[in-house]
């Protein structure tokens, strides 16, 4: 229940910022701590799914973005990898200018089928929120799917806030 309340607060804060014309007040967010909490929540939320998270990020990585916005971005991208991708390995790569989520089994099948294509629709409101955040921050979001399954999402943070 507490996790759900916190999640709603984060989403509300991000929505309020998206709806307003105010600039984003930056803060140094510890990406490792945020990611660890999200992953622990997914393992509890999806006990019947076989999910192995492989994280690639520098220790003590700080992202200059409000925690609520960062959580909304990561949460929606990882949730799409879990819900709309194959079970198995999910790679999460973070650095100071890139966020990348990859469903490894889907990548393997898309390489076999050679049918991977860019797509930014079809997975609901979560991705629309991520798209709006990226547009507002002048970041680039690239999505790849194969046979209507999530393969990867990458955000390039060209313009740091």
Distance of alpha carbon 24 from alpha carbon 137, whole angstroms: 9
Pairing verdict, β 62-64 and 28-30: antiparallel
Average pLDDT over residues 88-114: 72
Sign of the dihedral through C-alpha 3, 79, 27, 17 = negative
State how far the alpha carbon of 114 is from the alpha carbons of 21, 48, 83, 103, 106, in Å: 42, 30, 22, 16, 12
- Tell me what pLDDT residue 108 has: 43
Please list, in sequence order, all residues whose beta carbon lies within 8 angstroms of the beta carbon of residue 116, skipping any fewer than 6 positions away: 110, 144, 145, 146, 151
Question: What are the pLDDT digits (tens) for 125-157?
Answer: 788 889 988 998 889 999 887 776 678 899 998
The residue that leads in pLDDT, 85 or 65, is: 65
- Tell me what pLDDT residue 159 has: 58
Render 20-66 in DSSP notation, one character per residue. S-PPPPP-EEEHHHHHHHHHHHHHHH-TTS-EEEEEE--TT-EEES-
Average pLDDT over residues 86-115: 71
- Tell me what pLDDT residue 121 has: 41
- Label residues 109-129 b or e (16+ Cβ within 10 Å = b): bbeeeeebeebeeebeebbeb
Average pLDDT over residues 119-125: 52
pTM, entire model: 0.79
With CA atoms as reference, report the closest residue to 137 among 69, 77, 80: 69
Average pLDDT over residues 116-121: 38
């Amino acid at each position: 229940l507490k996790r759900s309340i916190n999640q709603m607060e984060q989403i509300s804060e991000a929505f309020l910022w998206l709806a307003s014309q105010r600039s984003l007040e930056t803060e140094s967010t510890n990406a490792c701590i945020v990611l660890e909490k999200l992953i622990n929540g997914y393992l509890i939320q999806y006990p019947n799914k076989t999910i192995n998270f492989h994280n690639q990020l520098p220790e003590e990585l700080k992202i200059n973005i409000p925690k609520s916005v960062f959580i909304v971005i990561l949460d929606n991208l990882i949730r799409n990898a879990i819900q709309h991708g194959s079970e198995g390995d999910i790679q999460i790569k973070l650095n100071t200018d890139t966020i990348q989520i990859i469903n490894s089994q889907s990548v393997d099948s898309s390489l076999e089928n050679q049918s991977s294509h860019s797509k930014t629709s079809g997975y609901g409101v979560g991705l629309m929120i991520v798209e709006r955040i990226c547009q507002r921050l002048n970041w680039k979001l690239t999505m790849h799917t194969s046979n209507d399954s999530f393969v990867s999402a990458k955000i390039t943070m060209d313009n740091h806030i």
